[in-house]
Amino acid sequence: MAEKVDMSGRNVIVTGARPHSLGYETARILASWGASVVATSRRHVAQAEKFLKDDLREIGVEENNIVVRPLDLCDVDSVNDFAAWYRESYGGKLHVLVNNAGILKDILKPWKKSPLTEDGFEIHWRTNYLGAFHLTGLLLPLLKQSGLESGDARIVNVSSHLHDQGKNEDLFNDEKTYNPLRAYGRSKLAMIHFSREIERRFAEEYNLHSMAVHPGSVDTNMTRVEIPEGRIGNLWNRITSSLAPLIMLHRTHGAQTIVMCASQPSLQGGKYYVRCKAEEPTDESKDEAASKRLWNQSEAWVETLVKPEGGKHGQI
Ligand SMILES: NC(=O)c1ccc[n+]([C@@H]2O[C@H](COP(=O)([O-])OP(=O)(O)OC[C@H]3O[C@@H](n4cnc5c(N)ncnc54)[C@H](OP(=O)(O)O)[C@@H]3O)[C@@H](O)[C@H]2O)c1
């Protein structure tokens, strides 16, 4: 378990905090430790905010420690609006950004071709990595400034052990045949490169560190494959909801490594954390040339998203 840290005076953003998710638990714990938390959701904003405030009130913590805002990482305007709102509302101070939001598309479905976002990227790539890269870029000036002023700012990137499904050459090229697990793995490999590159670029000068996390196999909305109501649906959903807690971590436990990386003082940046300890990620993810190349290419991709008339982005 993460050791409790006094987070008062720390401003935190946690993306992807719908109820029953890792983001929800992370936001709840950090707010209960005194942080001022802005959590985000794409489709469950009011519900997440109500539940989170109820949870805080129940344990006697100021409910205004938390607000939930809409954010769709696949929508350039939504990311821009969120970042602009944050800058105005929090006086330019941001100590911790937790890039947690993510998706895993139906892995049992026989996909004939890559599911694409409206702007033409493979959907895991766009949601799990590129959207986070775009958001982080907009918030970087605040994180750097807060790192300089407070001596400690963080970007926590939620990756996965499935990053081992990704290969560096796939970061830049279309895959011949589509496999959602590999596409997911590739996006999670990119999150580790992203953390390592943030650390390399900003740790020394700005006290801005980044950690990548595998939270474990956790019982969340993502891992609950529910099928629609009906006799079979009800039976399946009953069976899976009784089995899930036996084979997966509870969300409160799954969130511990994310919470630790967001809070524990003097934690080493540029590392990959699992079960609250640094572990070695794959060799691919430690290839510095690939991390640098990915950063440069991602800046170019974001540029084409922000100014689409600039031409096609050329990925996937
Ligand atoms: N659960 C596991 O076993 C496991 C294992 C390894 C890694 N992870 C990683 O942990 C992170 C959290 O996953 P979870 O298990 O908590 O899943 P979850 O319960 O499905 O929550 C995912 C969150 O991401 C948000 N999201 C999805 N697409 C988005 C988009 N386009 N823009 C903004 N937000 C978006 C969802 O939005 P809404 O609020 O609208 O629903 C939701 O709040 C993910 O990055 C996942 O890959 C999970």
314 pLDDT higher than 70 = no
Query: Between these two residues, 233 and 142, which has the higher pLDDT value?
Result: 142
Q: Is the CB of 18 under 6 A from ligand 1?
A: yes
Q: Which CATH architecture has domain 11-215+255-310?
A: 3-Layer(aba) Sandwich (3.40)
Mutate to test the pocket of ligand 1, among 21, 52, 104, 217 (most ligand atoms within 8 A of CB): 21
pLDDT at site 220: 96
158 bridge partner residues: 213
288 bridge partner residues: none
Residue written as token pair 């305007």: 77
Sorted by sequence, the CB contacts under 8 Å of residue 195 that are 6+ apart come out as 155, 157, 159, 210, 211, 212, 269, 270, 272
Query: Between these two residues, 315 and 167, which has the higher pLDDT value?
Result: 167
Tokens of 141: 């000036």
Domain residue extents for the chain: 11-215+255-310
Record the pTM.
Answer: 0.95
Asked if 288 and 200 touch (Cβ cutoff 8 Å), the reply is yes
Q: Hey, whose CA ends up nearest to atom 42 of ligand 1? A: 16
2 pLDDT higher than 80 = yes
Reduce the DSSP state of residue 191 to 3 states and report it. helix
Sorted by sequence, the CB contacts under 8 Å of residue 135 that are 6+ apart come out as 15, 71, 73, 79, 82, 83, 97, 99
pLDDT at site 244: 82
Give the CA dihedral 299, 300, 301, 306, nearest 10 degrees.
Answer: 90
Q: How far apart are CA 234 and CA 216, in angstroms?
A: 27
Sorted by sequence, the CB contacts under 8 Å of residue 278 that are 6+ apart come out as 268, 271, 272
Q: How far apart are CA 150 and CA 4, in angstroms?
A: 19
pLDDT at site 111: 83
Q: Which ligand 1 atom lies nearest to the CA of residue 22?
A: 16
Q: Residues 145-166: what's their mean pLDDT? A: 98
Q: Is the CB of 73 under 6 A from ligand 1?
A: yes
Q: How many CA within 13 A on the CB side of residue 115?
A: 18
Mutate to test the pocket of ligand 1, among 24, 220, 224, 273 (most ligand atoms within 8 A of CB): 220
184 in active site: yes
Residue written as token pair 């971590």: 249
Which of 112-121, 141-150, 169-178, 294-303 is least confident?
169-178
Q: Which of 99, 97, 95 is nearest to 146 (CA)?
A: 95
Confidence of residue 154 (pLDDT cuts 50, 70, 90): very high
Q: How far apart are CA 195 and CA 197, in angstroms?
A: 5
Q: Residues 17-37: what's their mean pLDDT? A: 98
Q: Is the CB of 22 under 6 A from ligand 1?
A: yes
pLDDT at site 226: 65
**Ligand 1 midpoint to CA 15 (Å):** 8
176 pLDDT higher than 50 = yes
